[in-house]
């Protein structure tokens, strides 16, 4: 049942792309509940903001990728609204773990000569339209196929489906809800220094474990926020990225939608608390040429507190079973050795199926995190590195970041980015 630790993936072929592509533009709308906008409108604004950030006009972008759960708008509409003539587009199904994977696809299609610059977006009215935690439409669908495995027994939402992984981790390793609550605490501290964050209030571990139980061992405050928003990143070749106004976030390696032997009934084929990162790490680190110990900032997907913990563990930031210690040690806090989700992540900033975490790490590598620090005469933020509430959230000397994207326990994507040298 225990999967082999040795990589069975040929990682020799993509290393030549290390450092050859970069994120040159980032954009987002505000994180709100009740956008009063269509996803088409939200997407248009996010892409326009990213194009402005990249110093690009409509003629500079010729590729588009989006992901959704049938809750967004197709690239063709959005591109037309922005005056962009596309040489390539694709709209794929998917939620968390899509961002990193689609960046890999963008690199692939640029490398193949299909287009030169790709805007990737996620637009969702995740609070006012299709709620991930909500279950109305999904409950009405007939129970077929693999769903016999959960729907008839009252398993429906993501939290309900994922919770047994957390519970078994507690049983196997002695992990406690109080330890895992520190993920929320850290992210809430980070969010308090993020003017964009939906929830900016700093919380304590007691706040988390005293909040009402959603499904044991998950409390309300272990669960992410649902918001309306759109996000966009623009990917292009490193040379072109260097011509853009902001420093490129250089892509070192990607693992895209790596799966456990079964992505659906994942616990039938490996321990239930083992997640896709266990396999993705064997693609990510060799291709990046670095290891977890080299990383300055992590973006471990926090659909729930424990999803961040399980991924940090399986990507090797700590030993298996020691995730509870890792996340409660202070390491993941701003000012700690390796802060996680410095924006506040999905637990506090807002919910965008992972793209916001890539945007945040891009800002970290630029040294231009949009916190409460004053802006100097040169137009750049004068970071204080004082992480007290209402202050800074720039990580000093951030040179390498890792995003660990989560779709479900059985599927994940990851990316390492570096500051341009």
- 171 lies in the site for other proteins, by CB under 8 A: yes
- 2 lies in the site for other proteins, by CB under 8 A: no
Window of 69-77, 167-175, 229-237, 296-304 that interacts with other proteins by CB under 8 A:
167-175
When the beta carbons of 92 and 143 are compared against other proteins, the nearer one is: 143
Concerning whether 267 is annotated as a catalytic residue, the answer is no
- 163 lies in the site for other proteins, by CB under 8 A: yes
- 22 lies in the site for other proteins, by CB under 8 A: no
When the beta carbons of 76 and 171 are compared against other proteins, the nearer one is: 171
Window of 118-126, 134-142, 315-323, 328-336 that interacts with other proteins by CB under 8 A:
134-142
Which residue in the set 32, 48, 149, 320 belongs to the binding site for other proteins (CB under 8 A)? 149
Which residue in the set 32, 116, 151, 242 belongs to the binding site for other proteins (CB under 8 A)? 151
Measured in degrees and rounded to the nearest 5, phi and psi for residue 94 equal: 155, 160
Concerning whether 387 is annotated as a catalytic residue, the answer is no
Angle of CA points 343, 331, 5, to nearest 5°: 100
- 388 lies in the site for other proteins, by CB under 8 A: no
CA pair distance 178, 315, nearest whole angstrom: 22
Note if the bond before 13 is cis, omega within 30 degrees: no
Which residue in the set 5, 59, 113, 145 belongs to the binding site for other proteins (CB under 8 A)? 145
- 176 lies in the site for other proteins, by CB under 8 A: no
**341 dihedral zone (left: phi>0; alpha: psi -120 to 50; beta):** left
- 150 lies in the site for other proteins, by CB under 8 A: yes
When the beta carbons of 107 and 170 are compared against other proteins, the nearer one is: 170
Render 272-326 in DSSP notation, one character per residue: TT--THHHHHHHHHHHHT--GGG-SEEEE--SBHHHHHHHHHHTTSS-TT-HHHH
Which residue is associated with the tokens 């623009």?
234
In sequence order, which residues have a C-beta less than 8 Å from that of residue 290 and are 6 or more positions away?
Answer: 252, 400, 416
Torsion sign over Cα 300, 302, 305, 310:
negative
> 46-77 burial string, b = 16+ CB within 10 Å, else e?
bbbbbbebbebeeebbbbbbbbbeebbbebeb
- 265 lies in the site for other proteins, by CB under 8 A: yes
Q: Which of 31, 278, 279, 351 is catalytic?
A: 351
- 144 lies in the site for other proteins, by CB under 8 A: yes
Least distance between other proteins and beta carbon 64 (Å) = 34
When the beta carbons of 79 and 225 are compared against other proteins, the nearer one is: 225
CA pair distance 65, 101, nearest whole angstrom: 11
Least distance between other proteins and beta carbon 318 (Å) = 22
Which residue in the set 36, 152, 377, 378 belongs to the binding site for other proteins (CB under 8 A)? 152
Least distance between other proteins and beta carbon 157 (Å) = 4
Q: Which of 387, 398, 369 is nearest to 188 (CA)?
A: 387
Which residue in the set 57, 76, 135, 204 belongs to the binding site for other proteins (CB under 8 A)? 135
Least distance between other proteins and beta carbon 164 (Å) = 4
In sequence order, which residues have a C-beta less than 8 Å from that of residue 44 and are 6 or more positions away?
Answer: 78, 81, 82
- 320 lies in the site for other proteins, by CB under 8 A: no
Q: Classify 229 as helix, strand or coil.
A: strand
Residues 352, 122: contact at Cβ < 8 Å? yes
When the beta carbons of 86 and 259 are compared against other proteins, the nearer one is: 259
Q: Which of 273, 411, 278 is nearest to 3 (CA)?
A: 278
Q: Which of residues 271-290 bind other proteins (CB under 8 A)?
A: 272
Which residue in the set 86, 269, 294, 336 belongs to the binding site for other proteins (CB under 8 A)? 269
- Contact track, other proteins, 206-245, x by CB under 8 A: ------xxxxxxx---------------------------
Which residue is associated with the tokens 């975490």?
357
CA pair distance 346, 359, nearest whole angstrom: 13
- 137 lies in the site for other proteins, by CB under 8 A: no
When the beta carbons of 236 and 273 are compared against other proteins, the nearer one is: 273
Residues 379, 328: contact at Cβ < 8 Å? no
Window of 25-33, 149-157, 320-328, 384-392 that interacts with other proteins by CB under 8 A:
149-157
Measured in degrees and rounded to the nearest 5, phi and psi for residue 351 equal: -115, 120
Q: Which of 301, 315, 326, 387 is catalytic?
A: 301
Which residues are catalytically annotated?
A: 301, 351
Binding site for other proteins (CB under 8 A): 135-136, 139, 142-157, 159-160, 163-165, 167-168, 171, 212-218, 261-262, 265, 267-269, 272
């Amino acid at each position: 049942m225990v999967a082999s630790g040795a990589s069975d993936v040929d990682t020799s072929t993509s290393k030549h792309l290390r450092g050859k592509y970069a994120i040159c533009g980032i954009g987002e709308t505000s994180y709100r509940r009740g956008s009063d906008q269509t996803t088409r409108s939200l997407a248009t604004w996010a892409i326009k903001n990213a194009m402005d950030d990249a110093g690009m006009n409509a003629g500079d972008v010729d590729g588009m990728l989006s992901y959704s759960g049938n809750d967004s708008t197709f690239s063709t509409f959005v591109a037309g609204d922005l005056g962009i003539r596309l040489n390539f587009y694709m709209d794929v199904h998917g939620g968390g773990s899509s961002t990193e994977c689609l960046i890999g696809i963008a690199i692939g299609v640029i490398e193949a000569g299909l287009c030169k610059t790709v805007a990737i977006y996620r637009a969702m009215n995740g609070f006012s339209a299709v709620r991930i935690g909500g279950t109305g439409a999904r409950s009405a669908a007939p129970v077929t196929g693999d769903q016999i495995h959960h729907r008839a027994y009252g398993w429906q939402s993501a939290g309900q489906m994922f919770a047994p992984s957390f519970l078994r981790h507690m049983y196997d390793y002695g992990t406690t809800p109080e330890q895992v609550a520190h993920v929320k605490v850290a992210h809430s501290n980070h969010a308090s220094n993020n003017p964009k964050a939906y929830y900016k209030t700093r919380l304590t571990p007691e706040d988390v474990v005293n909040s009402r139980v959603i499904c044991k061992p998950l409390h309300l405050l272990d669960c992410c926020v649902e918001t309306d928003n759109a996000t966009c990143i623009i990917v292009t070749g490193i040379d072109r990225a260097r011509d853009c106004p902001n420093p490129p976030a250089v892509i070192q390696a990607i693992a895209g939608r790596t799966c456990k032997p079964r992505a659906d009934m994942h616990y039938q084929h490996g321990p239930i608390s083992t997640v896709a990162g266990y396999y993705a790490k064997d693609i990510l680190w060799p291709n990046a040429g670095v290891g977890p110990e080299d990383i300055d900032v992590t973006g471990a997907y926090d659909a729930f507190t424990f999803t961040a913990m399980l991924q940090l563990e399986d990507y090797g930031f700590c030993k298996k079973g020691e995730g509870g210690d890792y996340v409660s040690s202070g390491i993941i806090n701003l000012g700690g050795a390796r802060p996680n989700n410095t924006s506040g992540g999905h637990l506090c900033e807002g919910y965008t199926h992972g793209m916001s975490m890539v945007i945040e790490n891009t800002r970290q590598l630029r040294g231009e995190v949009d916190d409460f620090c004053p802006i100097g005469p040169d137009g750049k933020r004068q970071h204080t590195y004082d992480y007290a509430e209402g202050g800074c959230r720039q990580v000093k000397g951030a040179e390498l970041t890792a995003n660990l994207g989560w779709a479900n326990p059985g599927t994940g994507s990851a990316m390492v980015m570096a500051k341009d040298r």
